[in-house]
Chain A
């Protein structure tokens, strides 16, 4: 319970309209409504409209030791925006503007609650020759959380995780102080974090437990005029993966490189889980679907790159069609997301999906999504596949190669009917078992981890690293008000 005195103070900051303690408004901030993680409790929702308002809210919270949780859309798959200790959810979505685009140094400065739809719309309209790296999360989700939480983008091969796309930050600390980080701390340019001490790491991967980002500069990339998306299909993941590993180190203008198994493809086709085989491999259907996206500045360069890509594929007895051509071979009503969105992207892979994990028509979904070494991509699939099948779930695997092939993301999704409590419990068990199974593979670390995974890593992590994180957190948020109950607790 938060007293009416505090509510009045909050109303004075943002205006009555933007504070609510009504149960019907709070209800939608108790948890993310997709994942199998347990619910939390939101006592108050507030929507600030400026960085100064964020500062003032944090100061009050700090004064009265009330938990605060920064929130954009709250659907991060790990329940990491779920208020575990009650308190104030700061819905950042009124801070939704692009403040500046610098085409020379290719970055955009955006506000803390901007969504992908806002950003893409702005760039399409005003800077059509530039693109941001974009997740597959729905367009209503947050740009800042995606960058802060090591989001995985469609330009992953080019630039790495979302965190590597960050050029600079403006942050409100647990005390309410406002700090600038990166070149913007010394100039009006936000071109990078170099060469000053890089304090952005105090906030990256901390899931909003050390500060609230009110501004972020993110890297943009030129849209080159020539681009092709290939969709190679192989009988098994074991057959297709080595080809991707070779492509990952081949350069060739590849900006995105990933593969999925048929289980995941069925999801993208929007097939109802009730109507598909749990293990389509048993039916002799091909289980490996790749995506290779290459771009170039000149036609000649593009032709040469495409030729080299096809040559590598042929070494593995594959002759890939382009996504556009491949789509034609699917019946219309089985094209799902790809069929629906590909026309509006001009035949390119659609970058954002709707409807969350609704493919099973159950509305629930969660993943064991890990950063990983590229050595493990096949083993991860095999291990997670066995567990999924054991729990009666179609194995849904996904692997994306990152940053010129330096590392990769491996992910297993589980869908469930969120209207059925038993299925939720079953999904939780299944996810934990997948997680445990893939821990046999050293280097498999979950991103946007739910609390159970955080606790697992806490026990295993280098002790000094663990202690250092606790000290840093304690320093930045001495009263432990920032997203408490998530991540590693600060030193008192």
Chain B
């Protein structure tokens, strides 16, 4: 039940509260102190728990539904932040753990209608993680493990950097002189290589002059999302330098996390004005289809449901383009899950949850898989290899498949 007329906050997939005058406007991404006159406005009314626009009032917060106690919902976290800020609470390991047991999917703040909380709670959830790191209570040990590896081998999967391009086949036409790069990302490079391959094959078939940089490093998202902003910035600077030196003007991503980092976090949080155009694969393809440059010919004869990755949807505001693209594939019937677009249930892999909080991560994934099954779809399709990997690891039923959008497009090409 999404209203077409819905307006979103600039650059985000969170609705704009147009009916409230005198909203306090803040500069984005500051330290915790900036928010101290807002978070106490929360009265833990519980609106952050359910999607009020949907007929069935479905639950939206994986962290709360798993953790159950008040502290695991946004209301609780707002007031814990206030408690800390007003000296009633102190930093403890437990407090840090509560803040980390959350995929920062932003479904909660979408529901909150106190304008300042709606607009900025996502930022103080991150600022609290950064604070936890400063105080020595964060990140979780699993995050430290992969962060160290990223700093040495440039990926969080404990793999060797030299294997990053192992998936690449000879059929892919790379153009070393091109100024367009496909930023593959770690998950597609090491875990969901079909996504990397499908994307590269699509780009090749389009005769696009693009290259893939051997010196591509992790985008830094898993480091940034776990409150390690300084380390994430170093990683980002390195990437920006590498790609600038290669003369790259445009970057194509197939991972929602990488897309958000390059397009939003690098310039706005880290102030790295790289000047490159950042395009997510579905954006590129829909434009090419509209310009008549691509035809999707092969019918796939499938009923699918689309899962909105949080980093693409609520974090960046891209809901319709992947859907439009999927509908262009002959033989595809697209059905919606009850919780979709800004109310989509998170797959449970982001924000460092998958590595450090397996119980929460799996319960979130299983709930989404069940929701997909209830639509009668043959497959759940996403536009993020991290979501894909999460679904594949958790689907136990034979009757549901998981794909990335690039895989379906490539089959229909």
* Chain A contact residues, CB within 8 Å of chain B: 17-18, 20, 22-25, 27-29, 32-34, 45, 47, 73-75, 91, 93-94, 115, 117-118, 120-122, 124-125, 138-141, 269-272, 274-275, 332-337, 339-341, 343-344, 352, 354-358, 361-363, 365, 418-419
Contacts and interface: CB of A to CB of B under 8 A. Distances in A.
A23 B17 CA distance: 35
B58 A115 contact: no
Contacts of B42: 33, 363
A361 B41 contact: yes
A337 B83 CA distance: 28
Contacts of B98: 24-25
Contacts of A357: 43
B57 A355 contact: no
13 contacts: A22-B94, A25-B98, A27-B80, A117-B46, A121-B58, A140-B46, A270-B19, A272-B21, A333-B19, A340-B17, A340-B20, A361-B41, A363-B41
Contact of B45 (A28, A75, A122, A269): A75
A24 to B, nearest CB: 5
Most chain A beta carbons < 10 A, residue from B17, B46, B79, B80: B46
Given A24-B95, A269-B21, A358-B114, 7 more contacts: A28-B71, A139-B50, A270-B20, A274-B22, A337-B113, A344-B1, A358-B41
A339 B95 CA distance: 38
Interface string B38-82: 001111111111101111111000000000111100011001101
Contact of A355 (B1, B37, B45, B69): B45
Given A24-B95, A24-B98, A340-B19, A33 B41 contact: no
The 10 closest A-B pairs by CB, nearest first: A140-B46, A121-B57, A356-B43, A138-B45, A34-B43, A339-B19, A363-B41, A117-B50, A28-B70, A117-B57
A19 B155 CA distance: 38
Given A355-B47, A358-B41, A139 B57 contact: yes
Nearest to A271: B21
B166 interface: no
B115 interface: yes
Contacts, number: 163
B49 A140 contact: yes
A18 B68 contact: yes
Interface stretch (B84-92, B221-229, B295-303, B311-319): B84-92
Given A335-B19, A336-B20, A340-B19, A33 B114 contact: no
B41 A343 contact: no
A358 B19 contact: no
B342 to A, nearest CB: 14
B44 to A, nearest CB: 6
B113 A340 contact: yes
A24 B75 CA distance: 13
A420 B98 CA distance: 27
Nearest to A72: B46
B291 interface: no
Nearest to B98: A24
A270 B50 contact: no
Contact of B37 (A74, A140, A419): A419
Contacts of A32: 43
A141 B46 CA distance: 7
B89 A27 contact: yes
Contacts of B21: 269-272, 275, 333-334
Contacts of A25: 69-71, 98
Nearest to B86: A419
B169 interface: no
Contact of B76 (A28, A272, A418): A28
B318 to A, nearest CB: 24
B3 interface: yes
A18 B69 CA distance: 8
B112 interface: yes
A138 B114 CA distance: 12
A125 B55 contact: yes
Contacts of A362: 41
Nearest to B70: A28
A124 to B, nearest CB: 5
A14 B360 CA distance: 19
A73 B42 CA distance: 13
B18 interface: yes
Interface in B90-141: 92, 94-95, 98, 112-117
A24 B95 CA distance: 6
B69 A20 contact: yes
B112 A354 contact: yes
Given A20-B69, A28-B71, A333-B18, A356 B80 contact: no
A95 to B, nearest CB: 12
A354 B113 contact: yes
Interface in B1-55: 1, 3, 17-22, 24, 37, 40-50, 52-55
Contact of B40 (A28, A139, A418): A418
Given A336-B19, A354-B113, A120 B57 contact: yes
Contacts of A141: 45-46
Contact of A332 (B18, B48, B49): B18
Nearest to A275: B22
Given A355-B114, A418-B40, A419-B37, A344 B53 contact: yes
A45 B69 contact: yes
Nearest to A362: B41
Nearest to A46: B69
A140 B44 CA distance: 9
A314 to B, nearest CB: 31
A33 B115 CA distance: 18
Contacts of A269: 21
A332 B7 CA distance: 13
A340 B52 CA distance: 11
Interface string B188-199: 000000000000
Contacts of B83: 27
B45 A124 contact: no
Contacts of A271: 21-22
Contacts of B116: 361
B142 to A, nearest CB: 20
A266 B117 CA distance: 20
A47 B43 contact: no
Nearest to B59: A117
A126 to B, nearest CB: 9
B120 to A, nearest CB: 13
A138 B45 CA distance: 6
Contacts of B41: 355, 358, 361-363
Contact of A118 (B3, B18, B57): B57
A80 to B, nearest CB: 16
Contact of B50 (A93, A140, A356): A140
Nearest to B46: A140
Most buried by A among B3, B18, B56: B56
Nearest to B39: A363
Given A24-B98, A272-B22, A139 B68 contact: no
Contacts of A354: 45, 47, 52, 112-114
Contact of A47 (B69, B76, B86): B69
A102 B115 CA distance: 40
Interface string B154-172: 0000000000000000000
